[in-house]
Structure formats: structure tokens, C-alpha cells
Amino acid sequence: MKTYDWIVVGGGITGAALAYELAIKGFSVLLLEQHASLQGATRYSYGGIAYWSGTTELTRQLCAEGIERHRILSEELDTDTQFRELDLILTIGTDDDPEKVAANYAEFAIPPRLLSVAEACEIEPLLNPDAIAAALTVRHGHIEPEKLTQGYTQAFRRAGGEVQIDRVVELLGTGSKIQGVKTATATYHAAKTVICAGAMSRQLLKAAEIPIRLYFTHTELIETPPIDVQLQTTVMPAEIKRFQLEAQATIPEHDRLWDEPDYEPVPPILDAGAIQFQDGSLRIGQISRVLTAPNAKIDAAQSEANLRAAVGKILPALENLPGKWHHCLVAFSSDRLPLVGALNNVDGAYLFSGFSNPLVFVPSLAKHFASWAAGQEDEVLTQLSPLQL
């Protein structure tokens, strides 16, 4: 019977990055992903790297380390992550006070600059000048999340890591000791198992009687094929409602209801924005819903119409582009910080999930995790530990 040093469950960006960092530290690692091609949050992500957005010593450090990693990852992984930097435009609605909105960004490591409507439209000619009172702008990183994930996975294999396409149905062991995982057809043993299954991490841990304050949104977007329209920037609202939704959905009175099978703690939100990838395709979004059932039914036609109407107000040229509605689940935590490290009173089980804006953090945090796994003390991980329940 083979016993791996580490099993990594989930091959999205979190699992792929962590598996790679563990493998290059010399651990024997098995990465288990249920789908042969990605279908989770990483597949539909905008790919934005918000390296300007650190507000505390910890998040500023992680942002600075994260952007440094992104700048060299294409070379290190021998792949093209399509890393680039572009302008982010944060739109301010006509009902909002631009100075007040700008003040909310003053604490960021690189505070975005306030633009008049004319200045914003010069940077992003597709903006509707009548729909905004002003905008903020800052340089923003961008990668193709699927390419970065593939790059990590391929580099992981080259470092001796093994990948199995198989669905983990349960963790092996009891609530106090986890010794690997079971799939429908096989049992895999490991000294340590780390859950990187995004939104599905909660269910896997719950089935093993490991409670965790990890939640998920149902996120909806429209993806277009490569198209002639030229969006110069990433466009998002300055007042991102998703963060409010995440905070409200995890207050104590809602928290205990997350184990109910069919519950919607707070109404859905829509943050109107768009990004164009280097191949010319666009992702336009996004609606976020908190429905406790991972497979809850969503009215796709109604959602698509709402998305098109909301984005059409800000970026009229995008409203009627050909494109397809998609839906996926995105994990988040109760305090916008990821949950990374050992789990309460459980030997052999670890978590690396719950990132609200993971793409800037994951590359450096995966490195921190691997160093810590190799025995080094790590101040960063101590601050992100999921132990405090």
C-alpha cells in the first residue's frame, strides 16, 4: 500500500498551486481532481490580480509577494500565464458621492485615483458617460486562470507529482484522524490530506464531522466567444456588493442555518463588470447568490437578462453580444481572509480554501504552506489558521 506524504483534493487554482509547491519541496504528492477539464470557479474567473488592495500588514505583505510571484510564474512554470497589467476602472454610480466612495479606498496599499467622467471615458471609451458620476482607477494585474492552473499542474507532474482524475467521496478515517481519501473505486492513503475543493470543501469536511466556517456563493456570468469589440480595461463597480453579501450571509444567526439543505440567508446581488481576455473573449458579470444547496436550481434565462441589462447600462456595447450564461460555486470565509492550515483536533487534515480574491494571494500562500509543511515556522499561516472556530 502506497502512502503519500500529501494528498491534495481539488485541482483548481488553489489545489494546483499547493500541489506544485509541496512537490518541489520534495514531498510525494497525489492531486485528485474530479473533472478532466476544469469546471469550477477557476474556469470562469475574471483572472484579476488585485495587488493594490492590501489594507493590513498581512494583506499588504501577501499582495506584494503575490504580484512578485505572478511576474515570474510564466518563466518558473514554463508556460504562458498571460500575465499583464492593465487599468482597472471602478465605476461610481450617479446616485453616489465620488469623494465619499474614493475615501473608502484611502486605506489600500495603492489607493485608486479619482477620475472625472470625461477622464474615465478617455481611458475606457466603451463606458456610458451618462451612467456614472465618476470612476476610480488603479493598475491591476491579469492572468488567464485556467492557463496558470494548467501551468502549475504540468510543472507539478514534472516535479514527480501524480494526478488522478477521480472524485473524492469521503475522507478516510474518523473525525480525529484522517489517513487519506476514498473515491468510488479506490482508497488513497496519505500522512496528510489537504482540502482545496473550493465550495465543495465544506461538504467534504462536514461529512467527516469536521465543522468549518467556510461558505460559498453561486456565481453567474456570461462568457462571449472571441469578439471584435475592444474593452481596454477591467471594469467593476467601486462599491462591490459581493463583499457585503459575504459579510451578511455569515453573521451568527445565519451561520447555523448553513447546514439547512435549502436556505437563502440574504438576497442575491449583481456587480456589473467585464473583462476581455487576450484571445478576445469577454467575461461579463456577475450575480452572486447565497443558496445553501450546491445544486440549487437557478433561472438561467432570467439571470442572463438581468446581467445583460445591468452591464448594458455601464457598457452599452456589451449588452447584446453573443455569449453563454454560466454558473459556478465560489468559496469564501467569514472575514475575507483565507482559511489555511491544520484543522481543529484532527490529525492529518488541512484546509487551503475560502479565498475571496484568491488570485493575488494563492501563489505566495502556497509557498508559505509548503515551507511550513517542511517544518519552518510561518507567521503568515498562524494568522490564517482555521483552528479558531
Q: If phi over 0 gives left and psi between -120 and 50 gives alpha, with beta otherwise, what is residue 356?
A: alpha
- Asked if residue 386 binds ligand FAD (CB under 6 A), the reply is no
- Asked if residue 14 binds ligand FAD (CB under 6 A), the reply is yes
Site for ligand FAD in 182-201 (CB under 6 A): 196-198, 200
Site for ligand FAD in 118-147 (CB under 6 A): 145
Contact stretch for ligand FAD (CB under 6 A) within 31-39, 57-65, 116-124, 290-298: 31-39
- What are the DSSP E strand ranges found in the chain? 3-9, 29-33, 48-49, 84-93, 113-115, 132-142, 162-165, 168-174, 177-183, 187-195, 214-223, 234-237, 269-276, 282-289, 324-333, 339-342, 349-353
Residue nearest to ligand FAD (CB): 12
Q: Which is nearer to ligand FAD, 328 or 380 (CB)?
A: 328
The 10 Å CB-count burial string (b at 16+, else e) for 179-202 is bbbebeeeebbbbbbbbbbbbbbb
Helix axis angle, 57-77 to 358-373, nearest 10°: 90
Contact stretch for ligand FAD (CB under 6 A) within 27-35, 58-66, 69-77, 246-254: 27-35
Q: What distance in Å separates the CA atoms of residue 96 and residue 105, rounded to the nearest whole number?
A: 14
Q: What are phi and psi of 41, to 5 degrees?
A: -60, -35
Q: Which is nearer to ligand FAD, 208 or 381 (CB)?
A: 208
Q: Which is nearer to ligand FAD, 70 or 98 (CB)?
A: 70
x-or-dash pattern for ligand FAD, window 291-330, by CB under 6 A?
-------------------------------------x-x
The residue ranges that bind ligand FAD (CB under 6 A) are 9-15, 32-35, 38, 40-42, 44-48, 145, 167-168, 196-198, 200, 204, 219, 221, 285-286, 328, 330-331, 353, 355, 357-360
